[in-house]
Amino acid sequence: MKSVLTCVLAAAFAALGPLTAVAQDYPARPVKIIVPFAVGGPADVYARFLGAKLQESLGQPFIIENRPGAGAVTGTDAVAKAAPDGYTLLLMSNAHTVNETLIPNKPYALQRDFAPIAPINYSDLVLVVNPSVAANTLPEFIALAKAQPGKLNYASSGPGTPYHMAGELFKAMAGVDIVHVPYKESSGARTGVLGGQVEMMFDAVTTMSEQAKAGKVKALATSGKTRSSVMPNVPTVSEAGVPGYEAVIWLGLMAPKGTPPAIVNKLNAEVAKIVAKPEVRAEWAKQGATGMTMTPDEFSRYVGDDIVKWEKVIKVSGAKVDR
């Protein structure tokens, strides 16, 4: 019996040997992180931050490549088709979980074609309006929208993005008719509101709070369960007149399906170390972002739950994308 047990254990360790070597040797060359969104938005900003930190800890360049287009489908599909070797990663957001329902004819499926690595962070959105809009509070804006159905517009960085879905959820829960104006990227949507071409938008607190503080837009409400630490004087949408409203933007890291678990686990551990650093948490808190830490399995379940959540919102709101 001892001899048999010894043989079994030896075989098991022999099988694990190559996997351990893969993790120890990784990365042996530069790693590419594809961001399927434009330069300047939260996904791009935090991808570059994370890439720099991973380069410090793992000793190889983590190169950020922006491939926006088709509601994040273009860049995401490129990662789905990449070799599952850990050298091509995806910086994803909840735009991806929305797209599972909103764009059913994609060339990939999130849970079928990707291996979740780790979440990164989440941040609230802020509902802002151009200063010319005759409303200084959320109740005033809702009243204005109800008095002029179909006359007011809201901008987003494209169909299926968190900015779009926050707007659709707001429309459904507040009972207002506001026209969606999709831009190709968040910077264009932001410029549209700042310039007065569009009346309002939901934007990430991390990118719009300074514009609000400077008086370039009016911040009427934030989208989280509680008030934002960077905009404490601005009420939440829920407390300002739409009870139960909540919408955030969150970011995560994924790899093509089939990427060795040893590499996935190594990247998960490194991301968790970065997110847990006190200086990182403090810096993100100033920006309005909160770090997230999960195992790959926990993150996989989180992604699945978010897909279900937005599927319900899409059905209630009637949101569609023309393709």
Average pLDDT over residues 281-291: 93
Question: What is the reported pLDDT for 160?
Answer: 84
**CB-based contacts of 264: which residues, under 8 Å, 6+ apart?**
86, 115, 117, 255, 296
Q: Where are the beta strands (DSSP E) in the chain?
A: 31-35, 62-66, 88-93, 114-129, 153-156, 179-182, 200-204, 218-222, 248-256, 289-291
Distance of alpha carbon 62 from alpha carbon 33, whole angstroms: 7
Q: What ranges do the domains of the chain cover?
A: 28-123+248-317, 125-222
* C-alpha distances in Å from residue 38, one per residue of 35, 70, 100, 168, 282: 8, 12, 20, 22, 26
Question: What is the reported pLDDT for 174?
Answer: 95
Instruction: Look up residue 59 and give its amino acid.
Output: G
Phi and psi for 154 in degrees, rounded to 5?
-130, 140
Q: pLDDT-based confidence at 12, cuts 50/70/90?
A: low
Higher pLDDT pick, 298 / 159: 298
Average pLDDT over residues 122-128: 95
Q: In the predicted model, is pLDDT for residue 313 greater than 90?
A: no
Matching residue, tokens 């994308």: 321
pTM: 0.84
Per CATH, the architecture of 125-222 is what? 3-Layer(aba) Sandwich (3.40)
Q: Residue 170: how many CA atoms within 13 Å on its side-chain side?
A: 37
Q: If we measure between CA atoms, which residue out of 247, 250, 218, 246 comes closest to residue 234? A: 218
Q: pLDDT-based confidence at 29, cuts 50/70/90?
A: very high
- Give the torsion sign (CA, 176, 144, 124, 320): positive
Higher pLDDT pick, 316 / 221: 221
* C-alpha distances in Å from residue 52, one per residue of 35, 108, 213: 15, 29, 29
Question: What is the reported pLDDT for 8?
Answer: 53
Helices (H), 114-194: 138-147, 162-174, 186-194
Token pair, residue 73, equals 């489908």
Average pLDDT over residues 106-128: 96
Question: What is the reported pLDDT for 255?
Answer: 98
Average pLDDT over residues 166-177: 94
Q: What is the tally of helices (H) and strands (E) in the chain?
A: 12, 10
Question: What is the reported pLDDT for 157?
Answer: 86
Question: What is the reported pLDDT for 90?
Answer: 98
Higher pLDDT pick, 1 / 98: 98
Phi and psi for 116 in degrees, rounded to 5?
-65, 135
Percent of the chain surpassing pLDDT 70 = 92
Strands 248-256 and 114-129: antiparallel
Fold of 28-123+248-317: D-Maltodextrin-Binding Protein; domain 2 (3.40.190)
Question: What is the reported pLDDT for 320?
Answer: 75
Average pLDDT over residues 216-239: 95
Rounded to 10 degrees, the C-alpha dihedral 22/25/27/29 comes to: -120
Are 94 and 161 in contact, with CB atoms under 8 Å apart? no
Q: pLDDT-based confidence at 14, cuts 50/70/90?
A: low
pLDDT tens figures, 245-273: 999 999 999 999 999 999 999 999 999 99
Are 229 and 151 in contact, with CB atoms under 8 Å apart? no
Are 124 and 205 in contact, with CB atoms under 8 Å apart? yes
Distance of alpha carbon 267 from alpha carbon 254, whole angstroms: 10
Q: Which of 109-118, 159-168, 216-225 shows the lowest mean pLDDT across its residues?
A: 159-168
- Neighbour-count burial of 23, counting CB atoms closer than 10 A to its CB (0-12 exposed, 13-18 middle, 19+ buried): middle
pLDDT tens figures, 44-88: 999 999 999 999 999 999 999 999 988 899 999 999 999 999 999
Q: If we measure between CA atoms, which residue out of 104, 111, 103, 114 comes closest to residue 81? A: 114
Between 261-276 and 2-25, two packed helices, what is the crossing angle to 10 degrees?
A: 60
Q: Looking at the chain, how many residues does it have?
A: 323
Question: What is the reported pLDDT for 318?
Answer: 76
